[in-house]
């Protein structure tokens, strides 16, 4: 623990869960750095460790505890701060974990940096006092002050408490690197995301008013609320000046974006403003719920700055199961969205989430899901076996499915995914595509196309500067693992 605030005080952040949580961790890093702290990799020694947790499943809880324990073992005298969904759902349990000094729930995450500063000052002036890790200043539902527009939001926009991210259960087929459901399981992956300057996760909405029967998120996120269009535009303009090439609009229920200062406006209005008032080269939209999707939004994708990728969670192709899940769409509506997007946007990548073995799922229900997935030919399916989450309605439902049946159904979808994913990538061989370079790996540079193809780029000239964060063109030549190999085109 630092014995004085005047010396260099270091911190490290790690993230578990979804892209919204990653956006919050990026914000924490920015605000800590602005306050004079020096960021380190989570694998290195630091004076302060901040663990941004998830809790969507018991696996999220367990992973969060593992990262907390890892930080404590690395530097037992460091200030250990736990925030995020697990801290919001069960703060008392988190506070009893070895080494935990501060527990900051989602609803007060905006004051996290100030709380850390106060705690460090308290330890200097009264080192013998034993403070309660769950501070009274971090009570749930507290209204927080407006952050300046040049400040990265962690928690609130005005009196709205901006919570972090909704992690998802681990799929049976995690992507090697997924923009939308990159379930961080190691500090290395978390830090790679935090220190990247290629794209920025832009949290524009938080919370959820839905009550899907399998989901704990509304409990830890609160009601839906959105940032103003003006603040998002200003933030993106700052990121352009900082050299970012791509933004990813994220939210817990992104399609429910309606700014408080004009609730008649929606996500389409936000995107239109960003296209008109910023020069960010790429705008990517993260997961959208089918019930919110407006077909007229597809007109915006005529602009080449819009990334041709939609993540639309299907969850099931059975209307019976969708009703049991309390999803607010049916299979016909979902099919219309996907087929229309494919007709209007050539080369669009559509990925999805599917849950197998939901309580009451019959063989006929699953077959409807399988046939719908076969018909729609997704670029990528994230396949999840249902895992009951304590505190949700689905955990109490009758008709729980045996694990061997879940596994068999999952495997059928995984095999279908392999076939469709390969077919999707194969159609682009021989084409020239723009690639945003992210990293140097396995003796070559690699990055993403706008439609979610991961490309290993060969033949890039050696430069005095790094190719990272650069948009280049590549001829796509052959399939490679879950991506494509390409050759640099001048």
Q: How far from 206 is each of 202, 252, 345, CA to CA, in Å?
A: 11, 5, 28
pLDDT digits (tens, 9 = 90+) for 419-442: 999 999 999 999 999 999 998 888
Q: In what order do the strands lie in the sheet containing 225-226?
A: 225-226, 199-206, 246-251, 282-285
Could you give the CA distance from residue 430 to residue 184 in angstroms, rounded to a whole number? 33
Residue 125 in tokens: 């002036």
Query: What pLDDT, on a 0 to 100 scale, did the predictor assign at position 285?
Result: 96
DSSP secondary-structure letter at 5? T
Beta strands 349-356 and 156-157, pairing class: unpaired
pLDDT digits (tens, 9 = 90+) for 240-296: 998 899 999 999 889 999 998 898 999 999 999 999 999 999 999 999 999 999 999
Describe the crossing of helices 112-125 and 19-34 by its angle, rounded to 10 degrees: 50
pTM above 0.85?
Answer: no
Residue 86 in tokens: 């697990």
Query: What pLDDT, on a 0 to 100 scale, did the predictor assign at position 468?
Result: 86
Query: What pLDDT, on a 0 to 100 scale, did the predictor assign at position 132?
Result: 54
Query: What pLDDT, on a 0 to 100 scale, did the predictor assign at position 464?
Result: 59
Neighbouring-strand partners of residue 202 = 249
pLDDT digits (tens, 9 = 90+) for 327-368: 999 999 999 999 999 999 999 999 999 999 999 999 999 999
Angle at 286 between CA 489 and CA 226, to 5 degrees: 135
**For the ranges 15-19, 256-260, 401-405, which has the lowest average pLDDT?**
15-19
Query: What pLDDT, on a 0 to 100 scale, did the predictor assign at position 196?
Result: 53
pLDDT digits (tens, 9 = 90+) for 201-256: 888 998 888 888 877 776 677 788 899 999 999 999 999 998 899 999 999 889 99
Find out whether 448 and 455 touch, Cβ atoms under 8 Å.
Answer: yes
Label each residue of 209-239 as H, E or C: CCCCCCCCHHHHHCCCEECCHHHHHHHHHHH
Q: Measuring CA to CA, which residue among 337, 417, 332 is closest to residue 379?
A: 417
Question: How big is the chain, counted in residues?
Answer: 490
Q: Which residue has the tokens 């500067």?
A: 465
In 17-76, beta strands by DSSP E: 38-39, 48-53
């Amino acid at each position: 623990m630092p014995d004085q605030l005047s010396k260099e005080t270091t911190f490290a952040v790690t993230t578990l869960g979804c892209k919204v949580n990653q956006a919050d961790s990026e914000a924490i890093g920015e605000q800590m750095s602005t306050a004079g702290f020096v960021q380190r990799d989570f694998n290195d020694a630091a004076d302060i460790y901040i663990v941004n947790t998830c809790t969507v499943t018991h696996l999220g809880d367990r992973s969060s505890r593992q990262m907390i324990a890892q930080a404590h073992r690395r530097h037992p005298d460091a200030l250990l701060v736990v925030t995020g969904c697990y801290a919001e759902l069960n703060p008392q349990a988190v506070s009893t974990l070895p080494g935990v000094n501060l527990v900051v729930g989602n609803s007060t995450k905006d004051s996290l940096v100030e709380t850390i500063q106060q705690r460090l000052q308290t330890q200097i002036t009264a080192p013998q006092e034993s403070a309660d890790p769950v501070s009274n200043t971090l009570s749930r539902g507290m209204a927080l002050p407006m952050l300046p527009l040049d400040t990265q939001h962690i928690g609130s926009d005005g009196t709205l408490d901006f919570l972090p991210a909704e992690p998802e259960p681990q799929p049976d087929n995690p992507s090697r690197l997924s923009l939308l459901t990159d379930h961080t399981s190691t500090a290395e992956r978390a830090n790679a995301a935090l220190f990247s300057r290629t794209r920025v996760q832009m949290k524009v909405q938080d919370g959820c008013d839905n009550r899907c029967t399998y989901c704990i998120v509304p409990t830890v996120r609160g009601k839906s609320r959105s940032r103003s269009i003006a603040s998002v535009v200003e933030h993106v303009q700052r990121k352009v000046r900082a050299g970012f090439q791509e933004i990813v609009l994220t939210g817990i229920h992104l399609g429910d974006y309606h700014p408080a200062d004009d609730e008649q406006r929606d996500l389409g209005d936000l995107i239109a403003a960003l296209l008109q008032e910023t020069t960010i080269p790429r705008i990517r939209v993260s997961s959208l719920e089918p019930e919110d999707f407006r077909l007229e939004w597809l007109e915006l994708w005529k602009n080449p700055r819009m990334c041709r990728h939609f993540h639309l969670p299907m969850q099931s192709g059975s209307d019976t199961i969708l009703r049991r899940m309390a999803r607010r769409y049916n299979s016909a509506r979902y099919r219309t969205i996907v087929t229309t997007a494919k007709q209007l946007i050539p080369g669009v990548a559509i990925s999805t989430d599917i849950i197998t073995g939901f309580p009451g799922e019959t063989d006929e229900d699953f077959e409807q899901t399988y046939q719908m997935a076969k018909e729609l030919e997704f670029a990528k399916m994230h396949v999840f076996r249902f895992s009951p989450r304590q505190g949700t309605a689905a955990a109490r439902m009758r008709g729980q499915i045996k694990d061997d049946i879940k596994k068999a159904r999952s495997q059928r979808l995984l095999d279908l995914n392999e076939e469709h994913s390969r077919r999707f990538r194969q159609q682009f061989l021989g084409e020239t595509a723009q690639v945003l370079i992210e990293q140097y790996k396995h003796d070559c540079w690699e990055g993403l196309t706008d439609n979610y193809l991961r490309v290993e780029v060969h033949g890039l000239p050696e430069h005095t500067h790094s190719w990272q964060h650069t948009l280049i063109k590549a001829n796509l030549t052959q399939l490679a693992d879950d991506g494509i190999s390409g050759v640099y085109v001048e």
